[in-house]
Amino acid sequence: MKEYKFEERTVGYILEDKAKTIGEKPFLLHEDVKITYKELDEKANRVANGLLGLGIKKGDKVCLIMGNSIEFLYTWFALAKIGAVKVPINIALKGNLLRYIIDHSDASVAIVDNDLVDRVVFVQNEIKKIKTIIIVPEYEEKEVGFGPQFKIRKFTELYKGSSKRPPSDVHFYDPMAILYTSGTTGPSKGAILSHAHYYFIAQQANYYMRYDEESVLYSCLPLFHANASMLSALGAMLAHGSYAMGKRFSLTTFWQEIRSYRATHTNILGSIFPLLWRQPPSEDDAKNPLKVMNTALLIPEFEEFERRFDLKLVTMYGTTETGIVMVSPFEEKIRPGFCGKPLKAYDAKIFDDNDIECGAETIGEIVVRGNEPYSQMDCYYNMPEATVKAFRNLWYHSGDFAYRDEDGYFYFVDRKKDALRRRGENISSFEVEGVISSHPKVLESAVFAVPSEFGEDDVMAAVVLKSGEKMTPEELIAFCEERMAYFAVPRYLEFRESLPKTPTARVEKYKLREEGVTKGTWDREKAGYKLKR
């Protein structure tokens, strides 16, 4: 992989350099379309010059309310070339949450997929800073319900811009993006990430994932999150490889797309990994081109997974604010339950609630400190107090519980917000989910806290069974009772057709907590089921 000097570490420059050196090589593979590095550079130039023609300049914030598409890529690299700041927004958001991010980011422009326009129309009277709305790919005049306060443009008009490199003055330390966190512990926070940070994370991925010029990096994750854009798209570019872009994750098409794109590497979420394992085995499972799969969390049967699908697993741990901090060493055997060792670019420790380092095998919060420039975010946008709190005592506080062993391997326990406490006992929702989801009839589960009449929490589990399977609550509770401490066995069970999820396949536990105990919930105590202690 070519190393770039700091002054060259801008996303626009890197694309231009690749277009000059490997211009005819396919960069993007998407459905039946192939786009070369040269074509991507030329189209990004046209879009960039088109945006300049609309008055968009360096430092302007541009909201992208777009799913995975070719237009998203053109827009990303176009904004990078002129120094404007992309603010990609989760396409599942609507109403107040959508309005909040648009308003908080100070964006003056929104680029919106045609099928998502209605969501912006709904909040149009509350987004006072937006002046221009660009609809992808275009629209019919009678179909748009925006008021006269907005300039409405068609994305296809941007292609009329010059294919020459746009005038710009972009530096490696300039903001490339503002990525908003989920806001589970308060208002969503926008992490400011520089061009150099994007480069750094993609560079690290090249090393620990072993990308090369023959690599085809498939990702079904959304480009509005860091994983697909940094680890897969930009990671492929640095390696002189190709990026295979799926629209979204689908169990029915995942392996089909891996095979059709001849993908050698993929990055997935921890929530996707067990779903792939629990699909019925097929004699064709090992007949796939994947060499390496990168995932956040492992199922207990990870070694069987590697053999079944004939690939190498790499574990990782990271956050939007830090990038990927820990990975499993490529040459070493993965240890059950661990998320990896810190990369050389980071220091990571376990702190207690008073920011005192915990000893080995003691659960505390993961804290992180970068050893290299731009390995972490700059700050939270317009939230100085939140920035200081997150980086108190000069360490970024992740909000994740974990412990480390004597050899320096880290083991994830739970999100702080998802941890439960029942009658004096701390319970990891992650560990309880692991037991429930290991039942052969269970597809997936989510464990969360509901208020107890005795104070603290009671444990509730929402469970999705595999297609065609049936099970009684008593059967599942008996299974749990044999495999976990009595105080962690769920009191409440609810079998569901599906779990509420974000576009990145993460379970939206806050929705489950809001629903709580319903008429369809089974209560172990009311049913008279007595646990053995």
pLDDT digits (tens, 9 = 90+) for 354-411: 999 999 999 999 999 999 999 999 999 999 999 999 999 999 999 888 999 999 999 9
Is 346 a residue whose pLDDT tops 80? yes
CA distance 62 to 57: 10
Q: What is the pLDDT of residue 428?
A: 75
Which residue shows structure tokens 């400190």? Answer: 369
Residues of the chain within CATH 3.40.50.980 domain(s) are 6-172
Q: What is the pLDDT of residue 124?
A: 96
pLDDT, mean over the chain: 93
Is 206 a residue whose pLDDT tops 50? yes
The more confidently predicted of residues 331 and 80 is 80
Fold designation for 419-523: GMP Synthetase; Chain A, domain 3 (3.30.300)
Q: Model confidence over 134-150: pLDDT tens digits?
A: 999 999 876 789 999 99
Q: What is the pLDDT of residue 443?
A: 94
Is 186 a residue whose pLDDT tops 60? no
User: What is the average pLDDT across 344-353?
Assistant: 96
By the 8 A CB rule, do 1 and 210 touch? no
What is the pLDDT confidence band of residue 421, given thresholds at 50, 70 and 90?
Answer: confident
**Is the sign of the CA dihedral 98, 100, 101, 105 positive or negative?**
positive
Q: What is the pLDDT of residue 279?
A: 92
CA distance 266 to 117: 31
Output the furthest CA–CA distance in the chain (Å, rounded): 75
Q: Model confidence over 314-345: pLDDT tens digits?
A: 999 999 999 999 999 998 889 888 889 999 99
C-alpha dist (Å) from residue 421 to 355, 427, 489: 21, 6, 12
The total of other beta-carbon atoms located within 10 Å of residue 160's CB is 10
Q: Model confidence over 287-313: pLDDT tens digits?
A: 999 999 999 878 889 999 999 999 999
CATH number 2.70.70.10 given to 195-415: no
Residues of the chain within CATH 3.40.50.12780 domain(s) are 195-415
Half-sphere exposure of residue 55: CA atoms within 13 angstroms, side-chain side: 8
Question: Percentage of residues in the chain with pLDDT exceeding 90?
Answer: 79
What is the pLDDT confidence band of residue 276, given thresholds at 50, 70 and 90?
Answer: very high
Please state the pTM of the whole predicted model.
0.85
Q: What is the pLDDT of residue 420?
A: 80
What is the pLDDT confidence band of residue 520, given thresholds at 50, 70 and 90?
Answer: very high
By the 8 A CB rule, do 268 and 431 touch? no
The more confidently predicted of residues 222 and 454 is 222
The more confidently predicted of residues 223 and 421 is 223
CA nearest 422: which of 366, 365, 484, 504? 484
Is 434 a residue whose pLDDT tops 50? yes
Instruction: Say which range, 269-278, 395-404, 413-422, 473-482, has the weakest mean pLDDT.
Output: 413-422
Taking the alpha carbons at both ends of the chain, their separation in whole angstroms is 57
User: What are 417's two structure tokens?
Assistant: 């917000």
| 278 phi-psi bin (left φ>0, alpha ψ -120 to 50, beta other) | alpha
Q: Tell me which H or E stretch contains 433.
A: helix 429-437
Q: Model confidence over 169-185: pLDDT tens digits?
A: 999 999 999 999 865 44
Is 217 a residue whose pLDDT tops 90? yes
Q: What is the pLDDT of residue 504?
A: 65
User: What are 390's two structure tokens?
Assistant: 């997150």
User: What is the average pLDDT across 243-263?
Assistant: 96
User: What is the average pLDDT across 51-67?
Assistant: 97
Residues of the chain within CATH 3.30.300.30 domain(s) are 419-523
Q: Model confidence over 105-123: pLDDT tens digits?
A: 999 999 999 999 999 999 9
Alpha helix segments (H runs only) across 438-508? 473-481
Considering the domain delimited by 6-172, tell me its CATH architecture: 3-Layer(aba) Sandwich (3.40)
Q: What is the pLDDT of residue 184?
A: 44
Buried b (16+ CB within 10 A) or exposed e, 274-301: bbbbbeeeeeebeebbbbbbbbbbbbee
Q: Model confidence over 440-497: pLDDT tens digits?
A: 999 999 999 998 876 678 999 999 999 999 999 999 999 998 888 788 899 999 999 9
| 91 phi-psi bin (left φ>0, alpha ψ -120 to 50, beta other) | alpha
Is 85 a residue whose pLDDT tops 80? yes
User: What are 194's two structure tokens?
Assistant: 């520089």
Is 505 a residue whose pLDDT tops 80? no
Question: What is the Cα Rg of the chain in Å?
Answer: 24
Q: What is the pLDDT of residue 185?
A: 47
CA distance 495 to 65: 34
